[in-house]
Structure 1
């Protein structure tokens, strides 16, 4: 297959990256139609070239074995975490802010970066809404809670769940990415603490701002949702260890019983959350279906349009992407972990990190057993690059733009698209350079 088959995938990702920034209102009203158009530009020529049956089987395989589980998990985490409310207010001193960031980052690998961001961003903003300098708090929140903190489990960030669906063990990332995560997250948190302390001291000589939300006791509401989150984790672990050998075939696509059971349980838990959560808690979180609806529509198109890209990558040096494959390989044919980390990360900064992860996962061979053992450092490089560098721009990971929009709505003077990149370039890139030299050289 030629690279022409990758054009719909590239076009869709560029639309996702540029649409919200260049033609925001048109994108908000028509992103679903744009997604369908790119998918149709691929599927119709595929049918003409390879036949209806083979095309249908390929598309169904992507949607039924990967997309369905992917979106059900995101829906459940989004729904359940939306019923948990952190009420009350505390004063945002440097140590308190660092503590909140640490809690949010740890939470991200349990309820996902989207869930942790939605739970923690409003308490974070309330704690600092009487400070003249508070935009940096939200910027570091995006760094740590919306991205880096989600690197330890498939629940944390979409690319890692895509890897889990491809056969990567649930706790593989916990073991193999933990040292890198502790280093990167720890240094970023230390930089924040120094910067916030300096700015906090500088604020001492400025006129006082009346606190819009005076300090009050912090309470966690919606606690019935906590065991539901535990149930989601249990369902995923069940699907990883229970292999009954029973499957259902749909037009050549094999659906294993353990995966169907996992998805059904997770979906039921999300529906239970809707039934048991109090409406006022979701209202206080400004919970609505807009973000998850957008993710569902866009990723349906992504999983369809990536089908020929995966096929080309599987051809390796015999395929149309041989030059890219050669960039991530040494002269002896071994994978270049440093190149995998940076190429995955750079593309994840501007494109969606889940399909970017999948592209490089396939480029590294696509065999999870091989990648988890002989080439464990390569899989670690791909995983870390996709998760960490999603923090480089507002469009690198779904929660980034959501946090940005919430902060601006609540009066935080957030940096623009390129202003944010100055922050990430100054803080994150040097840390990533050192990290890659330590772990992937």
Structure 2
């Protein structure tokens, strides 16, 4: 194993260095002279994330952290060898301290606080009831994140339909609406939007610019669900009755102490966006602004308060476990490291090795092709994690938040909706998808296979996205 790693490292150093012997520029990595081979660790890691849980789940479950560490090392060590320790250290720390740390702190807090909110009791899963639960979950997704909303709402949704012979479609549409589409309205909703917020996109930009796209796409998907669920519900009326394993009972929400804590998280983020004291601390050449430090400290404190004040039986009833957030933390640390050289190449634009990709999303006049951005961002987000995919195309569009929020607002909208909406196309497009799938299977729902699920998304989502692309991003 060690000899194989040494061989791979040596090959990567040799190949990446071909034609790039120039020394690193003083202000960062020389993206103009870096070859596409620098993207191999990023590609390899994403392929492992996509295939591991499906093709070698036992190995992946026990060793995903080691996979992540190896790919991160294959990105960093050649960088040090080629461009020196100071430049490489600053490039990696810039990403980890300014983006990854705040990103994982927010996910940790939302995961922890939402995990302490228990929706108890049960109601009968009629088409009207199910539609109402999906709407509530979708709205909740932009407040507590798609992961938080999925954790809170999936078990009540399953309980409401556990006496129905046809119930897998309920979970499928739950993934569509609650685990993905509903998270498009704030940076809290979905990881790619929070990455955009960390890059300088205003907190309420997504709310004011994506509400119509979210309303139309979500409305179409919900209408399809209501029609299908009504048809199946009528068909079930003539079938033998199934004894309800969870009889209807009064709905009660436990752990309400976590609601003000969630409000505190939102307040901390809004404060960091408006309060600019102009004070910064430098760590290895990376400036850490005071408002961001305060925000992250407050968010961590709120998560710890949630752990202290929430009764343990509520978390137990929710099936709360640290395993999902631990996996996200390890994998995303490696993702953010491996994407460093890719970002450097993208910043080189037409002078970089990714110039063909730049041309693909640009019109003959050099202006961004919004429809291409929508489908390319969404297509990759269907199979790769949508947060790094968003970041790649954000940089491809120039990476300047002020320009993207104004002159290129349509391009940023295309990137944002593509990353968030099309994460629903597969089980691996967004982190909550596979979590919901696993919970549903554990509770006895006969969920479709990986490709069976893609038949559902292909029949429902792709036509919806074709219409949305034509309406909002077509010429």
TM over 0.5: yes
Correspondent of 1:223 among 248, 252, 256:
256
Deviation of 1:240 (Å): 0.2
Residue 278 (str. 1) matches residue 272 (str. 2): no
Note the residue ranges of structure 1 that are not aligned, 5 or more in a row.
none
Q: Deviations over 1:381-416 (max 9, x none)?
A: 000000000000000000000000000000000000
Correspondent of 2:369 among 328, 336, 341:
336
Correspondent of 2:140 among 92, 98, 107:
107
The DSSP-based 3-state class of the residue aligned with 2:382 is helix
Correspondent of 1:154 among 179, 187, 209:
187
Could you state the TM-score of these two structures normalised by the residue count of structure 1? 1.00
The DSSP-based 3-state class of the residue aligned with 2:362 is coil
Distance between the aligned counterparts of 2:243 and 2:237, measured in 1? Answer: 14
Q: Deviations over 1:51-109 (max 9, x none)?
A: 01111111111100000000000000000000000000000000000000000000000
Correspondent of 2:235 among 202, 215, 219:
202
The DSSP-based 3-state class of the residue aligned with 2:259 is helix
Residue 386 (str. 1) matches residue 419 (str. 2): yes
Distance between the aligned counterparts of 2:345 and 2:89, measured in 1? Answer: 18
The DSSP-based 3-state class of the residue aligned with 1:169 is coil
Residue 93 (str. 1) matches residue 90 (str. 2): no
Distance between the aligned counterparts of 1:278 and 1:189, measured in 2? Answer: 35
Q: Which residue does 2:31 correspond to in 1?
A: none
Could you state the TM-score of these two structures normalised by the residue count of structure 2? 0.93
Correspondent of 2:223 among 190, 214, 229:
190
Residue 21 (str. 1) matches residue 54 (str. 2): yes
Deviation of 1:38 (Å): 0.3
Q: Which residue does 1:359 correspond to in 2?
A: 392
Deviation of 1:42 (Å): 1.1
Q: Deviations over 1:236-294 (max 9, x none)?
A: 00000000000000000000000000000000000000001000000000000000000
Distance between the aligned counterparts of 1:3 and 1:39, measured in 2? Answer: 16
Q: Deviations over 1:12-65 (max 9, x none)?
A: 000000011000000000000000000101111100000011111111111000
Q: Deviations over 1:182-241 (max 9, x none)?
A: 000000000000000000000001100000000000000000000000000000000000
Q: Which residue does 1:295 correspond to in 2?
A: 328
Q: Which residue does 2:206 correspond to in 1?
A: 173
Distance between the aligned counterparts of 1:322 and 1:54, measured in 2? Answer: 24
Residue 9 (str. 1) matches residue 46 (str. 2): no
Distance between the aligned counterparts of 1:34 and 1:242, measured in 2? Answer: 40
Q: Which residue does 1:253 correspond to in 2?
A: 286
Q: Which aligned runs of 4 or more in structure 1 are off by greater than 3 angstroms?
A: none
Note the residue ranges of structure 2 that are not aligned, 5 or more in a row.
1-33
Deviation of 1:170 (Å): 0.1
Distance between the aligned counterparts of 1:126 and 1:338, measured in 2? Answer: 40
Deviation of 1:377 (Å): 0.4
